[in-house]
């Protein structure tokens, strides 16, 4: 068999091929076409090969120059992709393809080049190769092929090609139908999303290929302006018909209550200032939508108001909008994260900058705040129902540089992931944990970020750069979820640095990253340094570790990409280069842990996204006084 990426040239007239003829009266030929090809069938299929046969029909005067099959992992393959010669046996086009990957879905069409005419294709059909052994799967592995730099197809008209392009502040839930559903902030390169409503969604069966679904909310909910004016009037302010500027639609959080009920908590931010110059900014609202079927993107039903910004300063809202450390609100009603606890309680963790992050208990039946909410201003006692402070970087300072809380439960602990710093470059992720949903939350060093404040460690993600790449910045505001089989994942946006491909706006290109999480023996989460690529997890042999590696120290460095350095592991169990230069290394094949000096590095096979062919490699993440990332050089 012959495989090529080029279109076939026409053969000389003397080499024209004649096929079996059909009764022209029994076949319906499209206008101007003398060949019809029926949909192929799979004759035989294994882990790395497949054989096909397709009947064809020709008018008596029709000729063709060549015939075969086109195949792709994407729909509607053409001769501009992977092409295989076929053989003609009577009225049948046959071919066997020998270099397929195991456990992979392919799209196939038979084709014939009509002499002095067009390429004629059959209808497409799909098939999946057999699972094959893990070693076969790994040998044939090829990572996802979609491009990361998506400026050329960022527009609304190209949304079917987005996959994980234009993702910002994602929330992911696995539904009863087996799909993972992702919803996000209204943000995109060039604001391409504005034509499609709000809180856009997409879905995937494999966490790699994502189908864009569009907006879940067609327009501003009807309750927003009346509720906003109700609060303004209570504060002695004049009601307003509409604000000046655009509403912000931010950071939804989706939770599966049961197989027939899904809730989306969303943030809507009112633009402008409370009372003109020398007053603080207007408020935000968290609302609620529900659906029984996330596959129907139009089925979300709005359930209205959940909570708004709470202030402990009464009506003293004439605070300069640039006096960040003394802002009017205690809690900012954005960035909800909702969890159903191990004992069935429903809690919402929310907040951004200001005093920090709050926890509030919800009513499981309604999804709304369990306690009665009074006026969202007054004394600390007046606003107690709006939540309890559970995380802050600095007590008494309302310019926190933390947001985007995400809370999960695992093995007796609630883990609170937080986004730190500004999202253009410096954005990074931290984590702390607690035995109780409402704290206190402690980091790996015992710092109590609930009661005393402080920067939580470890650093979970950080701007970084491997060799042969532009690197990634603005890398945080995560969602953390599992597949129901014990495998945990981290998803967030990451951004290109400025100036990539000569594009001054490349930092506005926001790509969704999905990564596996491994857990240390002490129960701390480590996000892997390469994105998830469904690499077959064949057991790692010690001899595979010998060779060259790239190592990144994720110690916090504000606004800087941490770049990889070269390191090698030698056959005599020595480390050359990098942090552990001269130290010994060892490998425990039972646990899959590589020890560098006295640091445990947790290994996994993953896709090398910096490799031109996106082949499989081995990566690690480890934790000591800092977080370590590494990957084996190909």
On the question of a cis peptide bond just before residue 440, with omega within 30 degrees of 0, the verdict is yes
Domain ranges of the chain: 3-139, 542-632
Q: How far apart are CA 632 and CA 594, in angstroms?
A: 12
> Closest by alpha carbon to 619, among 557, 540, 566?
540
Spatial contact of 315 and 232, defined as CB atoms under 8 Å apart: no
Task: At 460, list the tokens.
Answer: 């979970």
Residue 263 Cα to chain centre, angstroms: 20
Q: What is the dihedral of CA 475, 476, 478, 482, to 10 degrees?
A: 50
Q: How many residues does the chain have?
A: 634
> Closest by alpha carbon to 449, among 517, 395, 412?
395
DSSP string, 22-86: --TTTS-PPTT--EEEPPPEEEEE-SS-EEEEEEEEE-TT--EEEEEEEEESSSS--TTSEEEE-
CA distances in angstroms from 27 to 56, 68, 122, 417, listed in the order given: 10, 21, 14, 64
Q: How far apart are CA 18 and CA 553, in angstroms?
A: 66
Instruction: Quickly name the fold that domain 542-632 has.
Output: Lipocalin (2.40.128)
Spatial contact of 473 and 507, defined as CB atoms under 8 Å apart: yes
Q: How far apart are CA 587 and CA 139, in angstroms?
A: 23
Q: What is the pTM of this model?
A: 0.85
> Closest by alpha carbon to 631, among 426, 501, 467?
467
| C-beta atoms surrounding 145 within 10 Å | 10
Residue 170 Cα to chain centre, angstroms: 7
Q: How far apart are CA 602 and CA 600, in angstroms?
A: 6
> Closest by alpha carbon to 140, among 620, 631, 613, 634?
613
Query: Is residue 565 classed as helix, strand or coil in its secondary structure?
Result: strand
DSSP string, 88-153: EETTEEEEEE--PPTT-EEEEEEEEEETTSPEEE---EEEE-----HHHHHHT-------S--GGG
Maximum CA extent, the chain: 94
Q: How far apart are CA 108 and CA 361, in angstroms?
A: 53
Question: How high is the mean pLDDT in each 10-residue block of the chain (634 residues)?
Answer: 33 44 66 91 90 93 92 90 91 91 90 90 94 86 92 96 97 97 97 94 95 96 96 94 88 98 98 93 97 97 98 94 93 98 96 96 98 94 96 92 97 98 95 98 98 97 97 98 96 97 97 98 98 95 98 97 98 97 97 97 98 96 97 96
Where in 323-427 does DSSP place strands (E)? 337-340, 346-350, 357-362, 388-391, 402-410, 413-420
Residue 253, H or E segment: strand 248-258
Task: At 220, list the tokens.
Answer: 């501003």
Q: How far apart are CA 54 and CA 122, in angstroms?
A: 8
Task: At 291, list the tokens.
Answer: 């659906």
Residues 6+ positions from 416 with CB-CB distance below 8 Å = 349, 357, 390, 391, 405, 406, 407, 431, 432, 433, 434, 441
Superfamily for the 3-139 domain: Immunoglobulins (2.60.40.10)
> Closest by alpha carbon to 407, among 573, 611, 255, 566?
255
Residue 264, H or E segment: strand 261-269
| C-beta atoms surrounding 256 within 10 Å | 17
Spatial contact of 623 and 520, defined as CB atoms under 8 Å apart: yes
For 47, half-sphere exposure in the C-beta direction (CA atoms, 13 angstrom radius) is: 12
Percent composition of the chain: helix, strand, coil (DSSP 3-state, to 5): 10, 40, 50
> Closest by alpha carbon to 549, among 575, 567, 573?
567
Q: How far apart are CA 412 and CA 391, in angstroms?
A: 19
Q: How far apart are CA 165 and CA 156, in angstroms?
A: 11
Label each residue of 408-456 as H, E or C: EEECCEEEEEEEECCCCCCCEEEEEEECCCCCCCECCCCCECCCCCCCC
Spatial contact of 70 and 55, defined as CB atoms under 8 Å apart: no
Residue 514, H or E segment: strand 510-519
Task: At 183, list the tokens.
Answer: 């919803």
Residues 6+ positions from 318 with CB-CB distance below 8 Å = 275, 278, 279, 280
Q: How far apart are CA 106 and CA 362, in angstroms?
A: 46
Q: Can you name the residues that pair with 493 across neighbouring β-strands?
A: 476, 512
Helices (H), 164-288: 224-234
């Amino acid at each position: 068999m012959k495989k090529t990426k080029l279109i076939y040239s026409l053969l000389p007239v003397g080499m024209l091929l004649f096929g079996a003829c059909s009764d022209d009266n029994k076949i319906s030929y499209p206008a101007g076409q003398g060949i019809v090809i029926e949909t192929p069938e799979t004759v035989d299929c294994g882990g790395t090969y497949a054989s096909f046969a397709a009947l064809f029909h020709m008018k008596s005067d029709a000729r063709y120059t060549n015939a075969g099959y086109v195949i792709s992992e994407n729909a509607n393959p053409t001769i501009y992709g992977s092409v295989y010669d076929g053989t003609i046996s009577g009225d049948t086009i046959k071919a066997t393809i020998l270099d397929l990957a195991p456990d992979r879905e392919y799209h196939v069409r038979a084709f014939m080049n009509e002499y002095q005419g067009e390429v004629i294709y059959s209808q497409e059909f799909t098939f999946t190769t057999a699972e094959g052994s893990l070693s076969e799967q790994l040998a044939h592995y090829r990572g996802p092929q979609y491009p990361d730099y998506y400026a050329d197809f960022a527009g609304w008209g190209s949304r079917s090609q987005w996959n994980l392009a234009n993702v910002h502040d994602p929330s992911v839930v696995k539904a009863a139908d087996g799909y993972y559903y992702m919803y996000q902030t209204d943000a995109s390169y060039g604001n391409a999303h504005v034509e499609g409503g709000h809180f856009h969604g997409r879905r995937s069966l494999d966490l790699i290929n994502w189908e864009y679904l569009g907006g879940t909310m067609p327009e501003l909910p009807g309750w927003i302006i009346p509720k906003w004016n109700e609060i303004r009037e209570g504060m002695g302010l004049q009601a307003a018909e509409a604000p000046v500027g655009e509403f912000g639609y931010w950071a939804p959080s989706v939770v599966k209550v049961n197989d027939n009920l899904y809730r989306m908590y969303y943030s809507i931010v009112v633009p402008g200032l409370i009372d003109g110059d020398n007053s603080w900014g207007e408020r935000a609202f968290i609302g609620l939508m529900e659906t029984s079927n996330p596959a129907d993107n139009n089925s979300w039903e709005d359930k209205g108001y959940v909570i708004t910004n709470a202030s402990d300063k009464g009506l003293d809202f004439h605070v300069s909008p640039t006096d960040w450390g003394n802002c009017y609100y205690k809690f900012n009603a954005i960035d909800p994260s909702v969890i159903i606890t191990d004992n069935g309680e429903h809690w919402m963790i929310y907040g951004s900058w200001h005093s920090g992050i709050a926890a509030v208990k919800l009513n499981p039946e309604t999804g709304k705040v369990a306690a009665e909410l009074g006026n969202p201003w007054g004394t600390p006692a007046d606003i107690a129902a709006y939540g309890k402070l559970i995380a802050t970087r600095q007590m008494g300072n309302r310019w926190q540089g933390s947001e985007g809380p995400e809370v999960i439960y695992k093995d007796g602990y609630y883990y609170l992931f937080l986004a730190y710093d500004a999202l253009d470059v410096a954005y990074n992720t931290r984590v702390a944990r607690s035995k109780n949903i409402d704290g206190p939350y402690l980091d790996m060093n015992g710092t109590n970020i609930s009661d005393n404040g402080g920067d939580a460690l470890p650093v979970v993600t950080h701007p970084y750069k491997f060799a042969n790449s532009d690197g990634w910045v603005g890398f945080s505001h995560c969602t953390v979820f599992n597949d129901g089989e014990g495998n945990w994942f981290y998803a967030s946006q990451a951004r290109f640095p400025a100036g990539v491909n000569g594009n001054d706006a490349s930092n506005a290109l926001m790509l969704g990253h999905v990564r596996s999480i491994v857990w240390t023996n002490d129960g701390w989460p480590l996000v892997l340094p390469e994105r998830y690529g469904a690499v077959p997890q064949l057991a790692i042999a010690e001899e595979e570790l010998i060779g060259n590696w790239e190592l990144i120290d994720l110690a916090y460095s504000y606004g800087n990409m941490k770049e990889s350095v070269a390191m090698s592991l030698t056959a005599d169990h020595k480390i050359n280069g990098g942090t552990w230069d001269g130290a010994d290394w060892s490998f425990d094949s039972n646990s899959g842990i590589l020890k560098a000096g006295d640091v445990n590095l947790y290994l996994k096979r993953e896709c090398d996204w910096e490799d031109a062919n996106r082949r499989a490699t081995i990566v690690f993440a480890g934790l000591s006084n800092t977080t370590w990332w590494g990957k084996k050089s190909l």
